[in-house]
Amino acid sequence: MKRWILPAVLAIALACTGLWGYNQYQMNRQYRIYMDNLYQKSFYELVGNVGSVEVGLAKLMVSGDRGQHMVLLSEISRQADAAQADLGQLPVSHIALEKTSKFLNQLSDYAYYLSKKVADGKTIDTKEMENLQKLHENAVKLNSDLNKLSSDVLKNHSGWGELVRKAKPGFYEASDDLYTKQFVNIQKTSIDYPSLIYDGPFSEALDRADGIELKKPVITEAQARENAIKFVGKDRTAKVERSSDGNNGVLDTWGFNIWTKDDPDNPIYVSVSKKGGKIVNMIGQHRGRNENISVEEAVKRATVFLEDNGYQNMVPTYQQNFEGTCTINFAYAEGDIIMYPDLVKVKISLDNSQIYGFEARNYILAHKDRKLDEPSLSMEEARKLINPNLKITSSRMAVIPTESKRERFCYEFKGELGDKRFIVYIDANTGEEADILQIIETENGSLTM
């Protein structure tokens, strides 16, 4: 009688296991279909929004009506924002999307700035129209490339879900799939955006190689890996995999994807300089749901983070908020003089205070021991060279980068003209007006033009 009990129990267990396995298979299949549809939706919405941006810019080129300008610019800004959000939903390497994302970000900010200008009763000047023309040319390129990718996808019967399923474990690294190849090709088309500063004063790195970090010895991959883990936090790290390297001859890097215990689904990309082993970039994905800390507290915590990682005497110069995160620009200060070439950016979440982004490219390329001579002009002498219509609110000394890859020792004057704010730089030795930036208030923070 007892002989059949064990086989019966095993048969029942096997049947239950089979049923459980089938249910898991069905659930995974449904999830893959859902994600595939989500990726397809994001991609085709990206194509549609970029197409609308191109059409809007084309209309702007021929419109002579100020009211129509305001409508078109508002739509362009909204559609470029939406396109950037769509781009962020795609499972493609951060590196492959970087330039496209930056173009859409700049386009959205510039269109928003111009829409506010037109709303104030002013017109788009010749220089601004030239900028819009260049942005339109780039939008045409991007739209053409995206439509080609869409056509290739249909021709090859490829799906985003298939890309994810066939991807290697280090999925977020640059791979050789159809989608990533095309976005890499888009990167190579050299989107030439106008020279607009849209994320803080002097935020663009100059590809010069005179930083002291670049004179340090080359490190090994193992050393770079340890540096990346230490930067993210050993206690926070769950898994590490090699990713794409960056080799441009100016600042070559090792690349790693790091999965954290607090967010196991979204890896953080970290690049480490081969010379000196400094962290160049850390790119993480996070959308804060609540703002549990203030911007002031975020700046304090970002400052402590920099100090803990060897960045002393860093002064916050600019901040911008977006989707529950705060991006803060810091510049190195030597005494009372701020060194704008030595720039570092930190992105911190306002809901959990974690650091999700970091960029030190400018700092690594430019930071060095500077021997500054006494300026020929005093602060008061330089102040007299400012247009008397500008009401000066603050002043300090600063070193700023120039387009010719040199530096200028200046006096920085912040001031107001009516309801508008400006930053004027006067060369401390020649008295020349070295640069003027206008501070534009947006819903996410301030931008400078």
With a CB cutoff of 8 Å and minimum separation 6, the contacts of 323 are: 287, 288
pLDDT by residue (tens digit) across 140-163?
Answer: 888 888 777 777 666 665 555 554
Q: Each residue of 348-389: pLDDT tens digit? A: 988 888 888 898 988 998 899 888 899 999 999 999 999 888
For 265-319, how does the pLDDT look when each residue is reduced to its tens digit (9 = 90+)?
A: 778 889 999 999 999 988 887 766 778 888 899 999 999 999 999 999 999 988 8
pLDDT confidence tier of residue 27, bands split at 50, 70 and 90: low
Multiple choice CATH, 379-448, 1.10.3470, 3.10.50, 3.10.450, 1.10.4160: 3.10.450
Beta strands in 140-276 (DSSP E): 237-242, 253-260, 268-273
| Residue 230 scores a pLDDT above 90 | yes
Q: Which residues of 76-90 are buried (b: 16+ CB within 10 A; e: fewer)?
A: bbbbbbbbbebbbeb
With bands split at pLDDT 50, 70 and 90, how would you rate the model's confidence at 195? very low
DSSP 3-state of 313:
coil
List the beta bridge partners of residue 355. Answer: 348
Q: Where are the alpha helices (DSSP H) in 286-445?
A: 295-308, 361-366, 379-383
- What CA–CA distance (Å, rounded) separates 183 from 96? 6
Tell me the pTM: 0.57
Instruction: Output the pLDDT for position 443.
Output: 58
pLDDT of residue 168: 39
Neighbours of 265 (CB within 10 A): 7
Query: Domain segments of the chain: what residues?
Result: 29-188, 212-366, 379-448
